[in-house]
Structure 1
């Protein structure tokens, strides 16, 4: 008896969105985003390339579905994010960590996710959870929405840089000596930058992520969650009347 992934002799391969996305993610892990083409995916599925467009009109549609699948576990992370009586900041941080872990679990995961706008249940569930944490903490609707975007953009951007610094296919950090050699910094010309170079060219990506996350949370704490913002001008451009 043939399986869904192995067509019976003389019959066309069975094709469905779930299997297509799963196979696309497997190819992503094997060869990276640049090598993932609709033709290569069709070959792996044993179908004609045109058959894929029945479910995904463009490659971008496929990437969006892949991004949605990657967030399958990020909306319900363990630890503080799932504990209602935990501090809102730790719940927020755990959600960001879960998102980073989901992107790191796939080769070029952040590149796939960047620029997609999924409306699937996993993406919406993640957004619902984060906004719920913030609203329960007293943030108004606008601040909660802006925070969601700020945290997501920081997490995706950091993970993009993190994955770019990994050797293709190896998963091992790039050689820090090579990174140092690629940056021509002399103490006489760039004294401050020279002292920071060991950190800038280091490979402790988690430490960098946690620092940025801590800065974000500390900034959020400066918001007065009664609806006023310290030093915040109406109209966002600085030309409006400052809220009292």
Structure 2
């Protein structure tokens, strides 16, 4: 008796969203350097040229990946961006949320930084941030500088944090601080700085963010007499 032909499962429809989602998943396994269009095509069980219908090169793909990261982050943070928050609290919530989201992806901050968003997903959340700052007494230019300063601090911190490791899901420290201190025996302050820089990244981020916001509050709003 003839057996029925085995039916292969249908491949998912190949579009920009599918490619970007697959790339974000694969990023966790291979990192940014190992993420190639060829590797993504293999994961999708297609030939590499099929991806060029959607992305002309890796840079274009990274732009779409960053945009998808922003979409996901915005969906989670919308509820946190309450109009009733003052500008400091709003920036704290936004920057903590940005860091938390970038840390979910291996090399997430490197993927996200310096990209060009592929749609207008960034506009509404950015408008909300700037509106909060203007309501707190900043000029439009001061609000833009305040937001970009906090944003740049957060991106830079996470790039360093992820570069130092350990990789997500792994245990242990990348830096042997005792060995580092021994090498720097003639430079005691530099040696002592190790634990502050390479341990307890959560506390380190919060301390830096507090310093950044204090600087913003001191230097960027117009003088009180100009606001009357």
Structure 1 residue ranges, 4+ long, deviating more than 4 angstroms after superposition: 76-81
Structure having the larger proportion of residues in helix:
2
**Is the counterpart of residue 221 in structure 1 residue 220 in structure 2?**
no
Match runs of 1:110-189 below 5 Å:
110-168=109-167, 170-176=169-175, 178-182=176-180, 184-186=183-185, 189=186
Kept after mapping to 2: 8 A contact 1:77/1:95: no
Q: Please give the alpha-carbon distance, in whole angstroms, between the structure 1 residues aligned to 2:122 and 2:179.
A: 40
Calculate the TM-score normalised by the size of structure 2: 0.84
Q: Please give the alpha-carbon distance, in whole angstroms, between the structure 2 residues aligned to 1:81 and 1:158.
A: 22
Kept after mapping to 2: 8 A contact 1:81/1:90: no
Q: Deviations over 1:92-121 (max 9, x none)?
A: 110001111110111111111122121534
Tell me how many residue pairs correspond in the alignment: 217
Specify whether residues 74 and 132 from structure 1 end up closer, same or farther in structure 2 by C-alpha distance, changes over 3 A only.
farther
Q: Deviations over 1:208-235 (max 9, x none)?
A: 111111011111111463x359xxxxxx
Calculate the TM-score normalised by the size of structure 1: 0.79
Cα distance, 1:85 vs. partner?
1.8
Q: Please give the alpha-carbon distance, in whole angstroms, between the structure 1 residues aligned to 2:177 and 2:33.
A: 23
**Is the counterpart of residue 109 in structure 1 residue 108 in structure 2?**
yes
- What do you get for the CA RMSD once the two structures are aligned? 2.5
Q: Unaligned regions of 5+ residues in structure 2, if any?
A: 1-6
Kept after mapping to 1: 8 A contact 2:177/2:195: no
Q: Please give the alpha-carbon distance, in whole angstroms, between the structure 2 residues aligned to 1:181 and 1:219.
A: 35
Specify whether residues 151 and 74 from structure 1 end up closer, same or farther in structure 2 by C-alpha distance, changes over 3 A only.
farther
Specify whether residues 27 and 195 from structure 1 end up closer, same or farther in structure 2 by C-alpha distance, changes over 3 A only.
closer
Cα distance, 1:80 vs. partner?
8.8
Of structures 1 and 2, the one with the larger relative CO (CA 8 A, separation 6+) is 2
Tell me the residue number matched to 2:31: 32
